[in-house]
Amino acid sequence: MAQSIYITSAEGHSGKSTVALGVLDALSHATPRVGVFRAIARSTVERDYVLEMLLDHDGVDLPYDECIGVTYDDVRHDPDAALATIVERYKAVEAQCDAVVIVGSDYTDVGSPAELAYNARIAANLGAPVLLVLGGRSAQNQTQPEQLGSSLARTPAEVGQIADLALAELAHGRAKLFAVIANRADPGLTAETIAEIRRAVAASTSAPAAGAAPVPVWAIPEDRFLVAPSIRGIMRAVEGELLSGDPDRLTREALAVVVAGMSMVNVLPRLLEGGVVIIPADRSEVLLATLLANASGTFPSISGIVLNGGFELPEPVTRLLDGLGSKVPIITTELGTYETAVRIMTTRGRLAADSQRRYDTALSLFEQSVDIDELLTAFGVARATVVTPLMFEFQLIERARAQRKRIVLPEGDDDRVLRAAATVLKRGIADLVILGEPFEVRSRAIELGIDLQGAEVLSPMDAVHVHKFAEEYARLRAHKGVTVAQASDTVTDVSYFGTMMVHLGLADGMVSGAAHTTAHTIRPAFEIIKTRPGVSVVSSVFLMALADRVLVYGDCAVIPDPTSEQLADIAISSAATAAQFGIDPRVAMLSYSTGESGSGADVEKVRDATALVRTRAPELLVEGPIQYDAAADAAVAAAKMPGSQVAGRATVFVFPDLNTGNNTYKAVQRSAGAVAIGPVLQGLNKPINDLSRGALVDDIVNTIAITAIQAQGE
């Protein structure tokens, strides 16, 4: 039977989805099969966006329709029958999982006391302990109407009072309390104030039994980007349509609202950063002035514009808008100014899968505020011995975060790199330097709705750095006749500029290749960083995350036809890389023959390489030549190479040539559904890593984490 946890709240708008995402993420990194179940769907008209967001998590593989219990209509019609249906449908999900996150109702239909009592009944009948989410803020703060999502912070005593009432309902429903989270607390809280909230809640959760363990209590501060509505949410609220602008920018948060009911010269000084501007559709001069102000860089950057009143724009104005090519979303609505403003002010932010910034922010807040190890221990989930791709990726992030390093990203003009950088910064994986013209990079970040404030943005044409790098590069390449003047041209290339930063200690590692060839990325490293002492070649490995373990494949990207000496280098470097990422190295030197059964030049090359590895690194467990099946399958190993410490249990697979290695890793990736992380370059004095030009944002994040871990070992 799966372990389960029931997440509910005492009222609406407590940010329960943020907590559910954090719990789901923590569980998916500790156990292989995690499920999600929504006891009562929030709507019968549209799909439940909270459930969709949770199901979109990489650790969950369940269809939407199986994860819904009942609707509010079902509960109103016959509460007992609805409860029976919830139990039946939950059991079907539970049978497929090791752990299940159950999300309670959202207070969109019935009164709060009755709804909490019904949630308690559900939790008790499912046998799931309750994680109670308490709202750290009260109703909308009307003293600052221009600030979307603003509300009054509750005092610790007020939170404690709500806890008293909620816990009484849970006890009456025979629900077992697991933990309490005070969510959306004042972001300016001191550690003492958070401790006060904990004490207030703990006073209400004291277990009556003598010696009983105290219930865990945590507090998560509010973040304005989570509570602010998106432009898409605003468009839905005002029943509007997108007139022009970039549809991708509909996910950007609106942090404030400006009602442009004045003349142009009076509206412009009132523009607010991240604001949505409400403009009557017959005030085209204000519309154009607002767009020009946004493009000028001398006024705050707005998130969107709502044209109200339903008037059509004159043809010359429409033509002018087309010529401006502004990406700011412009929404049209039939509503009047007052109704438009009211609907926008009452629109709340949604934590949905289509906003990476919200997603990263929610996970970051949860990780910083909740003790994950304590959560998993209290939940009774032990770390699994099986390592899934998702669990391995999380381990990479944990390792990188433990000792943050400074990584340079030369491709600041690539949106994928910028999005990955935003995730890396928000999750605290590494410190970043992004190469590019600062105004252009930061302007593009604003357009994408991502936060790069924590990154240093550096121009590769910066005169001070170019002069310093040119002198050093000319010194390094003096034997090739390179002058300082020639070096000045060379080092302005982003790959050379980034590599020089790593060489001179201004960065700990570099990740590039999303928009450049492998040769363009690693050639500067060969010239400047050079290989480690005792290593003759730079090679690469892929970390192959299979369904239940992680293997190391090398070399699959760099050396076409290695000699026996180079193969030995690849094996030793690959074993070191495996150990660096927590993989116990058992090295298989692959060939078409196992042991002494075959001969030929290719087999002899592998046999010689194996002998060199044993001489140069006697501590390594290595076997070769050996066929792949004998290296990977215990039954085959027992027949072909009995008694071997590597056969059947290999973790590091060294291929005899690039043709074999590259095709094998791709075959395993596609046929076995493995996640191929890499290529990870090895053998250099400092870490430089190359991306595939088809790299996704997650691939870039993983490679940055890998590079940071490599830098930790320097």
Q: Which alpha helices (H) appear in 206-242, and where do they start and end?
A: 224-227, 231-237
Tell whether 307 and 367 lie within a shared domain.
no
Q: Note down the domain range covering 333.
A: 231-345
Two structure tokens written together for 74: 């079902």
Q: Look at residue 595 in the predicted model and tell me its pLDDT.
A: 78
- Residue 380 zone, left/alpha/beta (φ > 0; ψ -120 to 50; rest): left
Predicted structure pTM score: 0.78
For the stretch 267-324, pLDDT in tens is 999 999 889 999 999 999 999 999 999 888 789 889 999 999 989 899 998 888 888 8
Tell whether 507 and 549 lie within a shared domain.
no
Do 205 and 182 contact (CB within 8 A), yes or no? no
Tell whether 553 and 679 lie within a shared domain.
yes
Tell whether 505 and 585 lie within a shared domain.
no
- Residue 582 zone, left/alpha/beta (φ > 0; ψ -120 to 50; rest): left
pLDDT tier for residue 209 given thresholds of 50, 70 and 90: very low
- What are the φ and ψ backbone dihedral angles of 298, each rounded to 5 degrees? -105, 0
Tell whether 498 and 620 lie within a shared domain.
no
Around Cβ 557, how many Cβ atoms within 10 Å?
A: 22
Radius of gyration of the chain (CA): 29
CATH number for position 434: 3.40.50.10950
Q: Which long-range contacts (CB under 8 A, 24 or more apart) does 580-585 make?
A: 580/709, 580/710, 580/713, 581/396, 581/399, 581/543, 581/550, 581/706, 581/709, 582/395, 582/399, 583/550, 583/551, 583/552, 583/651, 583/652, 584/651, 585/552, 585/620, 585/621, 585/651, 585/652
pLDDT tier for residue 700 given thresholds of 50, 70 and 90: very high
- Looking at per-residue pLDDT, the higher value among 659 and 140 belongs to 659
Q: Vertex 437, ends 433 and 441: CA angle to 5°?
A: 70
CATH number for position 322: 3.40.1390.20
Tell whether 142 and 244 lie within a shared domain.
no
For the stretch 544-564, pLDDT in tens is 988 888 999 988 888 899 999
Tell whether 439 and 456 lie within a shared domain.
yes
pLDDT tier for residue 384 given thresholds of 50, 70 and 90: low
For the stretch 492-516, pLDDT in tens is 999 999 999 999 999 999 999 888 8
350 assigned to some structural domain: no
Tell whether 362 and 431 lie within a shared domain.
no
Beta bridge partners, 510, equal 408, 688
Q: Look at residue 354 in the predicted model and tell me its pLDDT.
A: 61
CATH number for position 639: 3.40.50.10750
Tell whether 93 and 147 lie within a shared domain.
yes
Do 66 and 416 contact (CB within 8 A), yes or no? no
Q: How far apart are CA 643 and CA 629, in angstroms?
A: 16
For the stretch 430-466, pLDDT in tens is 999 999 999 999 988 887 878 899 999 999 999 999 9
Q: Has residue 713 got a pLDDT over 90?
A: no
Tell whether 420 and 473 lie within a shared domain.
yes
Tell whether 111 and 214 lie within a shared domain.
yes
pLDDT > 70: what percent of the chain? 93
Two structure tokens written together for 448: 């994408």
Choosing from 464, 496, 528, the residue where a domain stops is: 528
696 assigned to some structural domain: no
How many folded domains does the chain comprise? 4
For the stretch 225-275, pLDDT in tens is 888 888 999 999 999 999 999 888 888 888 899 999 888 899 999 999 889
Do 507 and 514 contact (CB within 8 A), yes or no? no
489 assigned to some structural domain: yes
Around Cβ 201, how many Cβ atoms within 10 Å?
A: 26
341 assigned to some structural domain: yes
Tell whether 37 and 87 lie within a shared domain.
yes
CB neighbours of 336 closer than 8 A, spacing ≥ 6? 308, 309
C-alpha separations of 198 from 131, 190, 282 in Å: 15, 13, 53
- Looking at per-residue pLDDT, the higher value among 264 and 407 belongs to 407
688 assigned to some structural domain: no
- Estimate to the nearest angstrom the gap between the alpha carbon of 633 and the chain centroid: 35
Q: How far apart are CA 240 and CA 549, in angstroms?
A: 49
Choosing from 501, 528, 555, the residue where a domain stops is: 528
701 assigned to some structural domain: no
700 assigned to some structural domain: no
CATH number for position 98: 3.40.50.300
389, amino acid identity: P
426 assigned to some structural domain: yes
- What are the φ and ψ backbone dihedral angles of 192, each rounded to 5 degrees? -70, -40
Check residue 212 and report its DSSP letter: P
Q: Look at residue 210 in the predicted model and tell me its pLDDT.
A: 45
Two structure tokens written together for 216: 């865990």
Q: How far apart are CA 232 and CA 235, in angstroms?
A: 5
- Residues 321-342 as b/e (b if ≥16 CB within 10 A, e otherwise) read beeeebebbbbbbebebeebbe
